[in-house]
Chains A and B, each alone.
Chain A
Amino acid sequence: MSEHEYVPKSKAAKWFNDRLPLLTLGAHLTDYPTPKNLNYWWTFGGILTFCLITQIVTGIVLAMHYVAHADLAFASVEHIMRDVNYGWLIRYIHSNGASMFFLAVYIHIFRSLFYGSYKSPREVIWIIGLMIYLLMMAAAFMGYVLPWGQMSFWGATVITNLFSAIPLVGDSITTWLWGAYSVDNPTLNRFFSLHYLIPFLILGLVVLHIWALHVPGNNNPVGIDIKKPSKDTVPFHPYITIKDAFALLVFMIIFAGFVFFTPNVLGHSDNYIPANPLVTPAHIVPEWYLLPFYAILRSVPDKLGGVILMFSAIFILFVLPWLDTSKVRSAVFRPIYRQFFWILVIDVLMLGYVGAMPAEGIYLVLARVGTIYYFLHFIVVMPVVGYLEKTDPIPMSISEPVLSGGAEPSLARKVNDKV
């Protein structure tokens, strides 16, 4: 936060700012001192904001043409695709936008894991972020139900049936969620209502996420506390805005590539068949971004156990700041943890792959190995490695390694050690 108090130049602006200090907020956001060594992994916050706004804008437009009724929903989506002016474009942006949103959020989460951004004093930022992630999954799931195709219907059936695993009250809860005795028109109606609501809840949490971020300030690749403002920081505008804008442009090119060249590659062709409660598609697969959790669900040969483990896989992330015992934030200076980090990345990618495959033979074995490692990583590896690991020496400031001649802080350190 800037030391000097902001004073508007014109009299009118001052009059307004005294009554509602929006201009002070604007000045804070512009001058906000940001670590000067942020790399491109730090641009995904801006990219995610773009994704959220894109989903809200295209979603509001789609809602003007969509009909949330079991008999009409499928036809209204086809109507959007064929009759509505640019309807195909808006719908493809919205459906691919969900995938791009998750792609960006996974990079954002793994960046946080690598550089220790979830650690003190940033635990609350991390937890709010996870709440956003949970809401994203709920919104994506309900959105996928709205076209009322075969995958919509059976995806909704399988996911809502997860709750029937709860002892005693499970069936009542499932019936309550459905508003019927199966997934039916009342289910579609309420999913549409909630699908419209959730993005605005996310928007509110994003404001809190950024607010919580602006209290301690950004973490950075070196992971050390820095003085703000100092020679280690640059003002957010124009230094970070231009970097974010460049990364966003590259991201939008990839996004547009999906929308214009392979708009259906991430979806499932069965969803172009209208929902039929009498026939289950041969292969029920969730959207790609939920596959790792789906693999965990299926790796357990017990209904309740699978459901519990799947939800645990998400909720364990909430206590991550307290499972990590290391005092060093950035994995750049943690030679052992760094290797386990990459094992986790491979593990999650593998779980995603086997989640898309049939749950049998070698895939089932891999899913079980992957599930066991996933939990071991957080419950055993993080506390133990943090405790035993001999970390590399960390620099005193961001400027130090740069001034001493090396581009990489760790490299600079090695040079210093020789001297």
Chain B
Amino acid sequence: MSKEEKKVNRRDFLFTASYTVGAVGVGAVIWPMIDQMNPDKAQQALATTEVDISSIEPGKSITVLWRGKPVFLKRRTSEEIAEARAVKLDDLPDPQKDEDRVKEGKDEWLVMLGVCTHLGCVPLKDKGDFNGWFCPCHGSHYDVSGRIRKGPAPTNMEIPKFEFVDNNTIKIG
């Protein structure tokens, strides 16, 4: 190679310039082709859901659909809250305090995505070894705070962005 090394000439410059412009052009066309598959405006428009929670009794829960995914709204009893808070963080695969999973002063309301963090199935309520949820697909057990305790799921069930519009209404998203 070194023996035949040539000086950079005008033709090399033209080759490099052509390839560069070509690569930029290809990239500019490919990106729209890739990005068109991301959620469109209509999907993004479904970003918030308001839920009336006035009729939920303590210890009961409801499931609503938000962005095509189920959201669990559980009104926990004081025993359940106490149980969730008695758990040592060392016992959790994904350590997180129960206090950090609810809104301050609204401790009884657990609002979380009802989606198993393993492969996306909907866990069943009041099942499993920890008095919380159990995912039938691959056997993940969640506790009364929706935290992963046993099974293949890597993380706790996700808490979506939500706020209390008033005492009886929650806005998710």
Q: Which residues of A contact B (CB under 8 A)?
A: 154, 157-158, 160-162, 164, 175-184, 186, 190, 277-284, 298, 300-304, 306, 358-360
Chain B residues within an 8 Å CB radius of A278:
63, 65, 70, 122
Q: How far is the CA of A180 from the CA of B65 in the complex (A)?
A: 14
Say whether, besides A154-B121, A303-B118, A359-B138, A180 and B37 are in contact (CB < 8 Å): no
Question: Chain B, 118-159, contact with A by CB distance < 8 Å: what is the 0/1 string?
Answer: 111110000000000001111100000000000111100000
Q: How far is the CA of A360 from the CA of B119 in the complex (A)?
A: 17
- Could you pull out 15 A-B pairs where Cβ atoms are within 8 angstroms? A158-B121, A158-B137, A161-B120, A164-B120, A175-B39, A176-B34, A177-B37, A179-B39, A186-B43, A277-B70, A280-B136, A281-B136, A284-B136, A303-B153, A303-B154
CB pair B121–A182 under 8 Å, yes or no, is: no
CB pair A284–B38 under 8 Å, yes or no, is: no
What 8 A-B pairs have minimum CB-CB distances, sorted nearest first? A182-B68, A181-B67, A161-B120, A161-B119, A280-B121, A158-B119, A280-B122, A157-B120
Say whether, besides A182-B68, A279-B122, A176 and B37 are in contact (CB < 8 Å): yes
- CB-based nearest B residue for A285: B137
Q: How far is the CB of B42 from chain A (nearest CB, A)?
A: 9
Q: How far is the CB of A17 from chain B (nearest CB, A)?
A: 39
Chain B residues within an 8 Å CB radius of A301:
151-152
Q: How far is the CA of A161 from the CA of B59 in the complex (A)?
A: 31
- CB-based nearest B residue for A159: B119
Indicate whether B69 reaches chain A with its CB closer than 8 angstroms.
Answer: yes
Q: How far is the CA of A280 from the CA of B116 in the complex (A)?
A: 11
Q: How far is the CA of A181 from the CA of B120 in the complex (A)?
A: 12
Q: How far is the CB of A356 from chain B (nearest CB, A)?
A: 14
Chain A residues within an 8 Å CB radius of B152:
298, 300-303, 306
Say whether, besides A180-B67, A184-B43, A157 and B119 are in contact (CB < 8 Å): yes
Indicate whether B40 reaches chain A with its CB closer than 8 angstroms.
Answer: yes
Say whether, besides A280-B122, A303-B118, A303-B152, A180 and B43 are in contact (CB < 8 Å): yes
CB pair B136–A184 under 8 Å, yes or no, is: no
Chain A residues within an 8 Å CB radius of B153:
303
Given A160-B120, A298-B138, 17 other A-B residues pairs in contact with their CB atoms under 8 A = A157-B119, A161-B119, A176-B34, A179-B39, A180-B43, A181-B43, A182-B68, A182-B69, A186-B43, A190-B37, A277-B65, A277-B68, A280-B121, A284-B137, A303-B119, A304-B154, A358-B139
Chain A residues within an 8 Å CB radius of B63:
278
Q: How far is the CA of A190 from the CA of B34 in the complex (A)?
A: 13
CB pair B139–A184 under 8 Å, yes or no, is: no
Q: How far is the CA of A300 from the CA of B35 in the complex (A)?
A: 34
- CB-based nearest A residue for B70: A278
Chain B residues within an 8 Å CB radius of A277:
65, 68-70, 122
Chain B residues within an 8 Å CB radius of A164:
120
Choose among A184, A279, A283, A306 the residue that contacts B68 (Cβ–Cβ < 8 A): A184
Q: Which residues of B contact A (CB under 8 A)?
A: 34, 37-40, 43, 63, 65, 67-70, 118-122, 135-139, 151-154
CB pair B69–A181 under 8 Å, yes or no, is: yes
- CB-based nearest A residue for B39: A180
Q: How far is the CA of A300 from the CA of B118 in the complex (A)?
A: 12
- CB-based nearest A residue for B154: A303
Chain B residues within an 8 Å CB radius of A358:
139
Q: How far is the CA of A283 from the CA of B153 in the complex (A)?
A: 17
- CB-based nearest A residue for B140: A303
Q: How far is the CB of B133 from chain A (nearest CB, A)?
A: 12
Say whether, besides A186-B39, A280-B136, A359-B138, A180 and B121 are in contact (CB < 8 Å): no
Q: How far is the CB of B152 from chain A (nearest CB, A)?
A: 6
Q: How far is the CA of A183 from the CA of B121 in the complex (A)?
A: 11
CB pair A186–B40 under 8 Å, yes or no, is: yes
- CB-based nearest A residue for B114: A278
Chain A residues within an 8 Å CB radius of B37:
176-177, 179, 190
Q: How far is the CA of A280 from the CA of B118 in the complex (A)?
A: 14
Q: How far is the CB of B134 from chain A (nearest CB, A)?
A: 11
Q: How far is the CB of B161 from chain A (nearest CB, A)?
A: 13
- CB-based nearest A residue for B67: A181
- CB-based nearest B residue for A281: B136
Scoring A157, A160, A183 by chain B CB atoms within 10 A of each residue's CB, the highest score goes to A157
Q: How far is the CB of A174 from chain B (nearest CB, A)?
A: 9
Chain B residues within an 8 Å CB radius of A184:
43, 68
Q: How far is the CA of A54 from the CA of B39 in the complex (A)?
A: 35
Q: How far is the CA of A183 from the CA of B118 in the complex (A)?
A: 15
Chain A residues within an 8 Å CB radius of B65:
277-278
Chain B residues within an 8 Å CB radius of A298:
138, 152
Choose among A186, A280, A304, A306 the residue that contacts B137 (Cβ–Cβ < 8 A): A280
Chain A residues within an 8 Å CB radius of B68:
180-184, 277
Chain A residues within an 8 Å CB radius of B120:
157-158, 160-161, 164, 182
Q: How far is the CA of A172 from the CA of B107 in the complex (A)?
A: 31
- CB-based nearest A residue for B63: A278
Chain A residues within an 8 Å CB radius of B151:
301
- CB-based nearest B residue for A279: B122
Q: How far is the CA of A360 from the CA of B135 in the complex (A)?
A: 13
Chain A residues within an 8 Å CB radius of B69:
181-182, 277
Chain B residues within an 8 Å CB radius of A180:
39, 43, 67-68
CB pair A284–B39 under 8 Å, yes or no, is: no
